[in-house]
Structure formats: structure tokens, C-alpha cells
Structure 1
């Protein structure tokens, strides 16, 4: 089955997909749900990608949706809209320092010049993006390597014909019956797709999409502002990641998570206190409070007999909370970038001889 360069891209894709399924099985092709959304968004402010999407691409996804195909040795997948935004946020720009680009995106002032739309894998943000040609205003496909657009590959119609030809050649060399994996693994890195709209507003709607038996919730970078009290319903939870989510406080219901082993609420400077119910997390082994606004710790933390790792780096602590001296089971305590007096640190080291106390 030769892919004609004059064939309509959607038609050519369907032919290749059919050939792959016939030779390798149904696991060689599929489609992502359009509403699939990354669990982590690098920056709160997003952008409208429409001005950077050429009409032929828009027609392609309108006809097919966000499809993928894999031969095992070669693959190609088209990103759903929110994944396009998330990975585009992680891309740098040619001849610009990443620190400058990142600062603009954090401030919400960045004018996006590229939008990532397809990939063979998402490790190191490799794949393909749209952007303006260096030789004019035409929208063309760029190759993305290690998070940076490197070279132009021509208009979408030319690029997709070449990609389909390469996939066809790879398919011809595969053995009958081999069942390759889906190339990107987006579903495992996405928020659950909940059928029907949640009746809960705001941040609660995000949590409501997760099954109550889930063991890990990762929402780093999502601007929640608050952790809904319904978090107490997730009694099987073992890991909760809430880095850079704009938290100002934690609900008492967090203490209901009796199986929680890891809790990360770092990079939430408006979080100035912890609820005493945190002491009920009897299984907790790691607590990351890096760059929060905490000025003290509740005495109830001494109930956390399994806690081994505590990160208090760059917090607002001016003196050591007394509870730390009553936690000899700690094995690593990070106090870098705090203004705690050196004599207090030495006294803590004597009190916790088996704990590595890190300071700047």
C-alpha cells in the first residue's frame, strides 16, 4: 500500500492505520479523547493556539480526531488540545535563553511562537510543532529536539505524506502479529476523563474526576487555590502532589488519609500553617514543605512515627519548632535557605544523631 503524496492526508492515514491493525493487531492504532488533560500544567497562563494551526491540520483532526499509530519500531501520535498547550509550555524558543522564556510564561506575558501538535514520544519534549517559516509568514512544521524547535520540515501536507511513507516502510518490516504499545502513554499521565459533568465547582471538579480508590494524585502546577474537603474521601491514597497550586491552607479532612505515604505541598508561599489533623497521617514517610510560608509546625507532627524525610527548605521559619526535637526517627531534614540560628541547628543535631540535617 503506497502512500500517494496527492492523497488526502486523512484518507492516507486511515489506509495506513487499517494496514497496521490487520498486520499487528488492534493495539497498533487508536485515538485519544479530545478532553484528555495533563495532570500537571507547567504554567497557569495558557494561550490560544488557533493562529498557529494551519487549515490543513485543522481539517485533518476534524476528520480523524487525535489519532496514533505504532509499528513498534516507529510511531506517530497527535496531541489532544490540552496536551498541546502543556507541552508547548515546556518548549523553549530558538536562540532565546530558557530563563527568559520561562519568566515570561510565569508572568503570563509570553507571546507563543510555536505550538506542539504531534510526537513519537514525550520524553524530553521531542516531536513536532507549528510555527512561522523563517523565510516568510507561512505556517510550517518544525522538528522539536530536547524541547527546542530546531529545523523546518515544510508545510503540513508535505510533512504528513513523508511521515506516512516512513511509517509504511517500518510496517513492512514488522513481523505479523506483533502488538506494539501506544507510543505516548498520555492516558496514564492525564486527569481521569469523567463521564458527565461534575456537580462540584472549581477545584472540587478536578478531584471529582478521580476514582476514590486511586493511590496517587498529582496536580503540580494546577492553580487550585484550595484543597477541597472532599480529599478526605480518597482513603486509599498513598501519594499526593500539590506543588505550585496556590494553596493557602490545608483542610482538616486531610487527616483522614490513613494510607498516605508522600505529601508534597511545596512552592505554595501563601500556605502559612498546617492543620493539627496532619498528625493523624500515621503512614506518612515524606513531607515536602519547601518554599511554603510556614513559621512553625504543629506539635501533632510528633505522632508521625514513620516520617523519615522532612523538607523545610526556604520556609519562613526563624527558630526551630520544638516538635522537631521530639522526632528522633527522622533521617533527613532540609533546612537550607532558612534564617534559623546556627546554635539551634547544632542543638538539633545532638538531639537527632541519626538524622542528616542540611543547612546552607
Structure 2
């Protein structure tokens, strides 16, 4: 039987069997379809179905979202929500990222590419489906550092060649060879049981937070419509990073002040957040705070107690005057004020008061 008549699923299984024989059981596996990233870059998603070729759909129906590693490469098929999340971070050739990002934030962007496979999610390196440069047919594109850079041909042809190359490398593998590490999607995803529990509790923010260990060092909820930051946040006393971008929160509870080890706090893109509690000044380890596109018009005086805070982002906020507390923080090193309507003389006064701080303005 020729290779052309063998299904892609059969080819995959053959190479997977060889990989396991040569490299051990850790050379292949399967991601649960329900995996959902902890972070979704933008709150507005999209339907990737029109960009998924029939051959790919048939493969995942037969095999699921599997990953396969060789001695020098790895190929991981992304579950649906991971497709959306990574596609939101993928750029568009010949377009500025700022323009693409603005469209995605507004929900007006028409996605031309969908990430379907990865070998490195840290820098978003992998493969995407998109229309061929020569026709409307769907083709595989190589994605490097978040940008589609090269068309690789039809999915069936590309995958057959990729599997053949992996098989040949396994034939040449020396005894004791080790496999590449697959992308750790499970480790960067919300627990599946946590999603079910949150759904059973009407997706209440407190129920979702309850699914995470109290000794967590990082919590990421970007793009999840929580609507509120619950008081239970104060129980995560080992927390070092808290990401709450585009979550719809309207206030920060005073219990946040218990997070004495918190270094990074991102509350950006929450326009209904209009004030911060005085307890924010109890975050003695805080190094950066992102308040971009919030509704804040001032900052609490307690911020001057934060001697480690060097970065403050106040872009696109409705500030009409610089909060007085900023003038009493000579240790600041970066203050972003892009797209604000602050008087130039006010900004210049701050520069004289805190000469060691770099001020970003239009």
C-alpha cells in the first residue's frame, strides 16, 4: 500500500509507536479537549472553524489533540480554547501590531489565521492555518515569534512530510536519546474540575478562586469576565503576580492589602474601576502596577509607602491632574501617561520633582 493511500491518523500512529519504542512512553500523549488557558489575551473570541481544513478536522476526530516528540522537534495539536488564545496573540503579516491589537480589543478584528499546532508556546512558535497567498485554499503557515512568516503548503502534504522527517530522525537516534519537551498546556491551563465547579456555582468569582491552592504564586484571569475581585483574594498570601486584565471588575477589595509578597499587579482594561482602596499601600513588595484604561482619576496617598514600586502605567485613564502622591515617590523609574489629557506643565512639574523617572507621553 502506498503512502498516499494511508490516512494521516495511521501515519501519526505509526510514528508515535516508533517514538515510544525509541524514546520511551514520555514521547507522546494527549491533551484533554476541555483545556482552557489561564490567560485569554482579549475578551472577544472568534470561531476558528472556517479556517480549519477538512483533513485536519478528520485527524483530530480520529486521534484527539495529541502531541508527539522526537529527538530534535515536537508537534502538539492545540485544543480548541488554546487555538483561540494563541491565535489572539498571533500577528498579521504587513500590519502593525498596534492596529491589530486595537481591533481585537474592540472585537472588530477578522482573523485570517488560526494557530492549530505548537512546539513552543512561550514565544508562540508553531503552525497556523490561513489562506494561501496564491488562492483561497487553506494552507499551513510557519509561525515564528507570533508572526506567520512562510507558507508551507496543504495540511495533508505538510503533515505527511513532517511525520516522515520525524520518523527518519528516530531511525538515526542513538541509544539513550531523549525526546524534546512538549508544550506544557496542562500546566498553563485552568483545572478542568475547577471549570465545572465554577459553572455549578453560576461561575461566581469566589468559587473560581476557591479552586486554586492558597499558596499559589501567580493567578492569571486576563480576559475572563469575572465582574468582581472577591474578598477571598486576601487568603492568597504567597501570591507574587496577579493578572486581572479585562475582567470587568469595578472595585478592589481592601483584603488585597494582605498580599505582602505581591510584586506585579495588572488591573488594566477595566474601565469601571474608578478607585483603589487605601490598603493598596500595604503591598510592601509591589514593584509594578498596570492601570492602563481603567477609570481611575486619582491614586490613594498610601502609595507613597511602596518603596519598591518603580513602574506605574496610567495610559488612557481619565486623569485631569497627576495624583499628588506621585510627586512624593522619588524612587519611581517609569510612569506611562500615553493617551491622557494631562496639561504639559503638570507633566513637566513632575519631571522636575522626580528627575530619575522616565515619563511616557504622546
The CA distance in 1 between the partners of 2:201 and 2:105, in whole Å, is: 28
CA distance in structure 2 between the partners assigned to 1:129 and 1:307 by the alignment: 39
Aligned mates of 2:153, 2:345 — CA distance in 1: 62
* Aligned residues between the structures: 356
**Which residue of structure 1 aligns with residue 299 of structure 2?**
297
Moved more, 238-247 or 200-209: 200-209
SS in 2 for 1:120: strand
Match of 1:50 in 2: 49
- In structure 2, the partner of 1:252 is 254
CA shift, 1:92, in A, is 4.2
1:120 and 2:119 are equivalent in the alignment = yes
Are 1:263 and 2:265 an aligned pair?
yes
Identify the range of structure 1 (210-219 vs 87-96) with the bigger mean alpha-carbon deviation.
87-96
CA shift in 2, pair 1:267/1:12, >3 Å? same
The equivalent of 2:24 in structure 1 is: 25
Kindly indicate whether residue 337 of structure 2 is the aligned counterpart of residue 336 of structure 1: yes
Partners of 1:256 and 1:193 in 2: CA distance: 28
Q: Is the 8 A contact 2:265 2:288 kept in 1?
A: yes
Q: CA deviation at 1:131?
A: 4.0
Considering only aligned residues, what root-mean-square deviation do their CA atoms show, in Å? 3.2
Secondary structure of 1:130's partner? Answer: strand
TM-score (norm 1): 0.84
State the distance in 1 between where 2:313 and 2:98 align: 25
Gaps of 5+ in 2: none
Superposed displacement of residue 215, structure 1: 0.1
Cα displacement (A) at 1:27: 2.2
CA–CA separation in structure 1 for the residues paired with 2:113 and 2:350:
51
1:1-360 correspondence runs (5 A): 4-93=3-92, 101-122=100-121, 124-132=123-131, 138-145=137-144, 146-148=146-148, 150-154=150-154, 156-194=155-193, 196-198=196-198, 199-202=200-203, 204=205, 205-328=207-330, 330-334=331-335, 336-337=337-338, 338-340=340-342, 355-356=356-357, 358=359, 360=361
Distance 2:296 2:257 in 1: 19
Check conservation: 2:197, 2:208, Cα contact below 8 A: no
**Whole-Å separation in 1 of the counterparts to 2:189 and 2:42:** 16
Q: State the SS of the aligned residue for 2:37.
A: coil
Q: Which moved more, 1:201-210 or 1:57-66?
A: 201-210
Deviates more, 1:134-143 or 1:262-271: 134-143
Instruction: Output the CA distance in 1 between the equivalents of 2:312 and 2:110.
Output: 39
Kindly provide the CA deviation profile for residues 142-194 of structure 1, in whole angstroms up to 9, marking residues without a partner as x.
Answer: 4445522642512x333322221011012122222233242323234333333
